[in-house]
Chain A
Amino acid sequence: MTERRIDLPQGTLDLLILRTLALEALHGWAISERIHQISSKVLFVQQGSLYPALHRLERKGWIKARWGASENNRRAKFYELTASGRKQLELEESTWRKLAAAVAQILETT
């Protein structure tokens, strides 16, 4: 494996999943692919963390799942954002931005 991977900081996986699902409903594999591509192959979500995270979010009611047909016409489980998930996404985004800005500021000034 030549790609360089960065481990996701604690708690950011939820944010990334919610963000990825904000545009359209996706199945698990597509979510991990999407994150991988958009992050310019820096971020790679292990299956071992992806699916437990998906089920956790589902239980919290932020995403919901339904079975549908995939691009190659196979049965796949699609996840989509719920209303409360959208709210949660906004909340987490703003928290993240504040955190990132704060961290960046510290890094630049010292």
Chain B
Amino acid sequence: MWSDLLLRLRSLFHRKKVEAELDDELRFHFENQVSKLVQSGLTPAEAQRRARLEFGGMEQLKEEHRDARGVNFIETLLQDVRYGLRILGRTPVITSVAILSLALGIGANTAIFTMMDAVMLRLLPVRNPQELVQVRIRAPKSGTEMNGYFTNPLWEQLRDQQDVFSNAFAWSETRFDLAQGGAVQYANGLWASGGTFETLGRRPAAGRLLTAADDQRGCAGAAVISYAFWQDRYGGAEGAIGSDLSLDGHLFPIIGVAPRGFYGLTAGTKFDVAIPICAVAVFGKGSRLDGRSTWWLEIMGRLKPEAAPQQLKARLEVLSQQVFAAAVPLDWEKTEQQEFLQRVLVGVPTPTGPSYLRQQMERPLYVLMAVVGLVLLIACANIASLMLARGMAREKEMATRRALGATRTRLIRQLLTECILLSSAGALLGMLFARWGNDVLLRYISTGRQTVFLDLSLNLRVLVFTAAVAVLTGILFGVLPAFRSTRVSLTSAMKGSRAVKSDTRMRFRLGKWMVASQIALSLVLLVSAGLFLRSMVKLATLDVGFDRNGVLLVNTNLKAAKVAPELRLQIYDEIEALLQKLPGVISVGRSWRTPVTGYEWNEYVSIDSPSAPKGDDSLVYFNYVSPGYFATLHTSLLAGRDFQASDTKTAPGVAVVNEAVARKFFPGANPVGKTFRVGSGSHEPGRTFQVVGLVKDSKYESLREATLQQAFFPISQIPGNDDSEYFEIRTATRPESLNAAVQNSVAQVNKAISLEFGTLAKQIEDSLVQDRLLATLSAFFGGLALLLAMIGLFGSLSYLVTQRQPEFGIRMALGAMPVSILRLVLREVATVLFVGVAAGLCLALAAVRVLESLLFGMSTRDSVTLVAATLLLAVAALAAGYLPARRAMRIDPMDALRYE
């Protein structure tokens, strides 16, 4: 076998020599044959002729030898690549157009795939990520739905009693203000239990990481910073370790730096600083450690290598009973406690880590992947047409090569190699486009509140994907033209006459089919783009129940200012009074939460009536607001009164409700003056409130929600010691222009209060990230698809007109009016359009059904969208047909006939 390998290698690397030897050997044979024939009495010329006849085709013979050498595959490939490059270089314009459109198509696919990879497929950068299991809770009544949040008592029970994980940890994401007063400077924080880094199995880049010893009740706290944070803030200096970092006004020593490339546990975010869970006490939130209804921690464990999945389930079920029994919230009602005890721990393998972004982006990403896939298909059809046309120009070349003994397979291989060369060049360029596209995408899905971070560095999976797309694309657009253009009739091609008529008609029909399918696919894209756009417009122009424009939102946080709880109300009142006086301020309101942030607080509400709503019907969403809040947001007060200064902490409990509450709880009656009780789980279980006012329905948590029942309470009656409130400031000018003035006013009261600015309009816009992304990108790609399809139609019609020029000439010479020629061309457009639109509509109606859940207030069979998309397509098709049609009408019969 050695000799075999050596010979193969020899013929591969010493190709020239081997070829020359073959040449020598065959010539030697040939000459011997000739001289033998001469000796037998033939003339030299006759001998040569006879020998040549016997020999057959020298080149064919050589080719068979090459095959026998066994490395022909690689050799041919190299040969084809060299030849392909020469051929492509000979038509630089066509080649660049093809490469550019491929680069756009493949680049778009790579960009979306890179996002998908980062959001959904990438494993956590930790040791053996496939061993990681997220622990979640399944409540008996909620069916298959699971919740991933735990209280600290539950976590401590689980940590101390579990035996199925080699190690487990709990964590919670948060934000810390690095500034000491004034404008906030947020860092992404991580509450991490002591075993976090040990479980993940990562080593520090500098210093040391948190250990179990750092996470003991009563700890002073210590901070581990991320590698990126270390580089950005400290320039990677060793001195950073041991220095103090201020988080919400509390100082923590930095003990170490997390390894490079470890960005945290959830895709879409990155952590800057991690501190142990026990340190919540330092922030005055020690109650969180013992709170049995404070659900804030997520838990992950590393499965023991020997533990089977079945074992995990059984072990966790046993563990559930002990864990939940030891952490029952004692203030819950008996039935709720019973339900609590029946909850079960479930282990979900999470090698990619949990991610909110994943839930949010998964479906849009699938949709976008499909969209860019279709765009690439449409681009492929165009390039296939281009290749067909070029194949025709090379008909003679093909015929010559066939005549010289090349097999058809060989020619097809050569043509396919050229196509894959093209698509590979497109893919390389496309990777550049993808990098750029990813940056744009990331910026697009980031909001003022949350900068999305994704690790989009190139990896093997993305490379393999792109390479596969490139090869497949090349084959896709290459196969048909390759088969087509190698099917040549030798004689007619060699005679140099124009290709046989029937054949060109065939070719046009083929082109027509391709254009029709392009039109069909573009229609699918246009329809989905239309649906997303209309859905987006509906969301953006929705009546939200308040006026979003011209409102500045200022979050004030007293955490760092360390204000005594009893003084807080007074400080807020002082600030409000100062803000009222600022020039440009129309009115000021205050609230505990602002609308449309995705944050919710709801309670069960009851009234003394036999027809009182029960269960989820009695769920009401709460907020605390100041007098003037409704006026500032322009939410109409329909009956009763707004809150007023006399609604103090000690005054009777009052509430303003929205129409939805009035409809459900007090049907047909004026709610003002009625009373209701709040449920047992609230801050003030069982307290009674009197309704003093009725306001218009408005959005609470998101724009997509159905109208929610809402109740507002005076902010002066806020229980507990919440240290953060929002100011809503209606301004006469651009809201942001008041930032500095507001900051000044607050500093007059207390310099250590931290502030965060935003606008209501931006907040609502940010809640529509997913919709905006889908609408913009689908519109962009829909437009691109339309353009590509029209180029395809234009090309195909131009070709038709050129081919039928003599025919048109004869028709005109015989007296046909230009209009009838126009009709001939337009009939082609109409057929293609009709077939394409019919197929496209069927496809679109079937395909867009999956978009249902992504749309707002629209059916996927929205007739406006369907008609508009079809019309757009028809107009574009006519435009694309116009130029070739005009050319056909202007054919000079004499010219056309002379040509023939």
A35-64 interface bits toward B, Cβ cutoff 8 Å, 1 = contact, 0 = none: 000000000001110011001101111001
Partner of B26, one of A33, A47, A56, A58: A47
Interface residues of B in 30-73 (CB under 8 A from A): 32-33, 36, 54-56, 60-61, 64-65, 67-70
Task: Check if A51 sits within 8 Å of B25, measured CB to CB.
Answer: yes
- Give chain A residues whose Cβ lies under 8 Å from the Cβ of B69: 55, 59
B711-735 interface bits toward A, Cβ cutoff 8 Å, 1 = contact, 0 = none: 0000000000000000000000000
Task: Check if A51 sits within 8 Å of B61, measured CB to CB.
Answer: yes
Task: Check if B28 sits within 8 Å of A47, measured CB to CB.
Answer: no
Q: Is B7 an interface residue (CB 8 A)?
A: yes
DSSP class of A's interface residues: helix, strand, loop or mixed? Answer: helix
Task: Check if B68 sits within 8 Å of A52, measured CB to CB.
Answer: yes
Partner of B29, one of A47, A58, A59, A60: A47
- Give chain A residues whose Cβ lies under 8 Å from the Cβ of B3: 58-59, 61, 64
Task: Check if A29 sits within 8 Å of B7, measured CB to CB.
Answer: no
Cα distance, A67 to B55, chains bound together (Å): 23
- Give chain B residues whose Cβ lies under 8 Å from the Cβ of A55: 65, 68-69
Q: Is B439 an interface residue (CB 8 A)?
A: no
Q: A48-B61, A51-B61, A60-B4 are in contact. Are A77 and B70 (CB under 8 A)?
A: no
B residues engaging A (CB < 8 A)? 1-4, 7-8, 21-22, 24-26, 28-29, 32-33, 36, 54-56, 60-61, 64-65, 67-70
Task: Check if B24 sits within 8 Å of A51, measured CB to CB.
Answer: no
Partner of A27, one of B8, B28, B60: B28
Partner of B56, one of A27, A47, A56: A47
Chain B residue, CB-CB nearest to A75: B24
- Give chain A residues whose Cβ lies under 8 Å from the Cβ of B61: 47-48, 51
Question: In this complex, which of B3, B8, B24, B67 has the most chain A Cβ atoms within 10 angstroms of its Cβ?
Answer: B3
Closest 4 CB pairs of A and B: A61-B3, A55-B68, A29-B32, A52-B68
Q: A47-B56, A75-B24 are in contact. Are A52 and B7 (CB under 8 A)?
A: no
- Give chain B residues whose Cβ lies under 8 Å from the Cβ of A27: 25, 28-29
Given A47-B56, A51-B26, A52-B68; 8 other pairs, CB 8 A cutoff: A29-B32, A46-B56, A47-B54, A48-B61, A51-B68, A55-B68, A77-B24, A77-B28
Chain A residue, CB-CB nearest to B70: A59
- Give chain A residues whose Cβ lies under 8 Å from the Cβ of B24: 75, 77
Task: Check if B29 sits within 8 Å of A48, measured CB to CB.
Answer: no
- Give chain A residues whose Cβ lies under 8 Å from the Cβ of B1: 61
Interface residues of A in 45-92 (CB under 8 A from B): 46-48, 51-52, 55-56, 58-61, 64, 67, 70, 74-77
A-B contact count (CB 8 A): 67
Task: Check if B56 sits within 8 Å of A48, measured CB to CB.
Answer: yes
- Give chain B residues whose Cβ lies under 8 Å from the Cβ of A61: 1-4
- Give chain B residues whose Cβ lies under 8 Å from the Cβ of A56: 68
CB distance from B33 to the nearest CB of A (A): 7
> Would you give 23 A-B contacts (Cβ < 8 Å), ordered by A?
A27-B25, A28-B29, A29-B29, A32-B29, A46-B54, A46-B56, A47-B26, A47-B61, A48-B55, A51-B22, A51-B64, A51-B68, A52-B65, A52-B67, A55-B65, A56-B68, A58-B3, A60-B4, A70-B28, A74-B28, A75-B24, A76-B28, A77-B24
Task: Check if B4 sits within 8 Å of A59, measured CB to CB.
Answer: yes
Cα distance, A71 to B562, chains bound together (Å): 111
- Give chain B residues whose Cβ lies under 8 Å from the Cβ of A77: 21, 24-25, 28
Cα distance, A33 to B35, chains bound together (Å): 13
Cα distance, A61 to B22, chains bound together (Å): 18
A residues engaging B (CB < 8 A)? 27-29, 32-33, 46-48, 51-52, 55-56, 58-61, 64, 67, 70, 74-77
Cα distance, A72 to B68, chains bound together (Å): 29
- Give chain B residues whose Cβ lies under 8 Å from the Cβ of A58: 3, 7
Q: A52-B68, A55-B68, A59-B4 are in contact. Are A47 and B21 (CB under 8 A)?
A: no
- Give chain B residues whose Cβ lies under 8 Å from the Cβ of A52: 64-65, 67-68
CB distance from A68 to the nearest CB of B (A): 12
- Give chain B residues whose Cβ lies under 8 Å from the Cβ of A76: 25, 28
Task: Check if A51 sits within 8 Å of B7, measured CB to CB.
Answer: no
Cα distance, A32 to B32, chains bound together (Å): 11
Chain B residue, CB-CB nearest to A61: B3
CB distance from A82 to the nearest CB of B (A): 8
Task: Check if A29 sits within 8 Å of B64, measured CB to CB.
Answer: no
- Give chain B residues whose Cβ lies under 8 Å from the Cβ of A46: 54, 56
Chain B residue, CB-CB nearest to A76: B28
Chain B residue, CB-CB nearest to A31: B29
Cα distance, A106 to B61, chains bound together (Å): 39
Chain B residue, CB-CB nearest to A52: B68
Chain B residue, CB-CB nearest to A71: B32
Cα distance, A11 to B8, chains bound together (Å): 23
CB distance from A71 to the nearest CB of B (A): 10
CB distance from B75 to the nearest CB of A (A): 14
Cα distance, A76 to B30, chains bound together (Å): 12
CB distance from B48 to the nearest CB of A (A): 15
CB distance from A29 to the nearest CB of B (A): 4
- Give chain B residues whose Cβ lies under 8 Å from the Cβ of A28: 25, 28-29
Cα distance, A33 to B3, chains bound together (Å): 28
Cα distance, A47 to B516, chains bound together (Å): 53
CB distance from B55 to the nearest CB of A (A): 6
Task: Check if B65 sits within 8 Å of A29, measured CB to CB.
Answer: no
Chain A residue, CB-CB nearest to B67: A52
Cα distance, A51 to B68, chains bound together (Å): 9
Task: Check if A59 sits within 8 Å of B68, measured CB to CB.
Answer: yes
- Give chain B residues whose Cβ lies under 8 Å from the Cβ of A67: 21
CB distance from B73 to the nearest CB of A (A): 15
Cα distance, A74 to B64, chains bound together (Å): 25
- Give chain B residues whose Cβ lies under 8 Å from the Cβ of A74: 28
Chain B residue, CB-CB nearest to A67: B21
Cα distance, A28 to B1, chains bound together (Å): 23
CB distance from A62 to the nearest CB of B (A): 9
Cα distance, A75 to B26, chains bound together (Å): 12
Cα distance, A33 to B40, chains bound together (Å): 14
CB distance from B814 to the nearest CB of A (A): 57
Chain B residue, CB-CB nearest to A30: B32
Cα distance, A52 to B62, chains bound together (Å): 9
CB distance from B10 to the nearest CB of A (A): 11
Chain A residue, CB-CB nearest to B58: A47
CB distance from A4 to the nearest CB of B (A): 16
- Give chain A residues whose Cβ lies under 8 Å from the Cβ of B70: 59
Chain A residue, CB-CB nearest to B61: A48
Cα distance, A58 to B56, chains bound together (Å): 23
Chain A residue, CB-CB nearest to B24: A75
CB distance from A103 to the nearest CB of B (A): 30
Question: In this complex, which of B7, B32, B36 has the most chain A Cβ atoms within 10 angstroms of its Cβ?
Answer: B32
Partner of A47, one of B2, B55, B68: B55
CB distance from B244 to the nearest CB of A (A): 76
CB distance from A95 to the nearest CB of B (A): 23
